[in-house]
Structure 1
């Protein structure tokens, strides 16, 4: 369906980040909040591989994606573990949770009039990502794009008391949505202002675990910034 986000490589990467940075670390019945669940496939794939006994509350505005996700959730009998609300997290009563996770909209563009408006991440692509880091959750797993002003996200995270505890990076080729002329031309302009970083047809997508914990002094923010701006 054209009105549902589709990129298997990115979805698999997000699922792997969930496995490695969140679900394997859950020792009890934690609650997780997810922003922008899409068709639910990344979380569903992770739940089928992990012994997670908590609840994930997803929030998805796209009604078509929400319906598809719920069909799959029912098919795999995961309704007790994965509950997706057809509403906006920012406008909802937010559940208390140990983790906030998201593959947030990160397409930069002059405005929302693009192929899939729900993928619009603001003029620099980092707006929604940075808003999620303002909600106050102790642990936040986000996918961060190298062409979406990644340095601003790292600075914003630090100003909100977060450290980068872990990250993994995937080189990705510009795809269907990011290759739309309006989007790609805007990314080119951001690059001129050192707000977007890519090489040829490739950019970096990082799965980043931000944490507010005062127990750990580990902070990989500098290393993440170096990687994301190296293209």
Structure 2
């Protein structure tokens, strides 16, 4: 469906990040909050491949995506593990959870009038991502794009007491949404100001696990910044 985000490569990457950086580290009964669940497929695929006995509370504004997700959740009998609200996390009473996870909207553009407005990440693409880091969850797994002012996100994380615990990087080709002329031209402008990094038709998407600072932990922030600005 045209009004539901569709990018199998990105969704599979998000799913793998969820499994390797979050679900395998979860203890009995841990709860997770997800911002922007979409059609639910990344989490559903992860749950079908892993033993997870906690609950994932998702938030999704797109009603079509929310309906599609719930149909699949029912089909696989996952309603006791994955509950999606057709509402905005920022406007809810913040659910308690050990982890916040998201593949946030990260498309930079002058305004939200793009192919899919819910993918608008603010003028530099990092607005929603940076706002998620202000919610104060102990752990946050976020997907970060190299053309969406990644340095600002790393700085925002540090300001809110996070270190980078681990990250995985995927080279991705500009797709349907990021190749929209209005978006692509804006990304080119950001590049001139060292706020977007890409090479030819490729950019980096990183799955980053942020933890609230603990003493004597290795912080991979500098390494992440070097990778995300290397294109």
TM-score bracket for this pair, using the shorter chain length: over 0.9
Q: Deviations over 1:111-151 (max 9, x none)?
A: 00000000000000000000000000000000000000000
Alpha-carbon RMSD across the aligned residues, in angstroms, is 0.6
Aligned to 2:25: 25
Distance 1:169 1:129 in 2: 17
Aligned to 2:176: 176
The size of the alignment, in residue pairs, is 231
User: Structure 1 stretches of 5 or more lacking a match?
Assistant: none
Aligned to 1:41: 41
Aligned to 1:87: 87
Distance 1:162 1:65 in 2: 31
Aligned to 1:207: 207
CA drift at 1:216 = 4.6
Distance 2:208 2:108 in 1: 19
Choose 101-110 or 87-96, whichever is displaced more: 87-96
Aligned to 1:197: 197
CA drift at 1:213 = 4.1
Q: Deviations over 1:80-107 (max 9, x none)?
A: 0000000000001121000000000000
Aligned to 2:76: 76
Q: Spell out the pairing of 1:10-21 with structure 2 (5 A cutoff).
A: 10-21=10-21
CA drift at 1:215 = 4.4
CA drift at 1:27 = 1.6
Aligned to 2:163: 163
Aligned to 1:137: 137
Distance 1:94 1:161 in 2: 19
- List structure 1 segments (4+ residues) > 3 angstroms apart after TM superposition: none
Aligned residue for 1:11, secondary structure, equals: helix
Distance 2:32 2:219 in 1: 23
Distance 1:24 1:169 in 2: 19
User: Structure 2 stretches of 5 or more lacking a match?
Assistant: none
CA drift at 1:176 = 0.1
Q: What is the TM-score of this pair, normalised by structure 2?
A: 0.99
Q: What is the TM-score of this pair, normalised by structure 1?
A: 0.99
CA drift at 1:55 = 0.2
Q: Deviations over 1:35-92 (max 9, x none)?
A: 0000000000000011000000000000000000000000000000000000000001
Aligned residue for 2:20, secondary structure, equals: helix
CA drift at 1:217 = 1.8
Distance 1:83 1:104 in 2: 18
Distance 2:176 2:88 in 1: 25
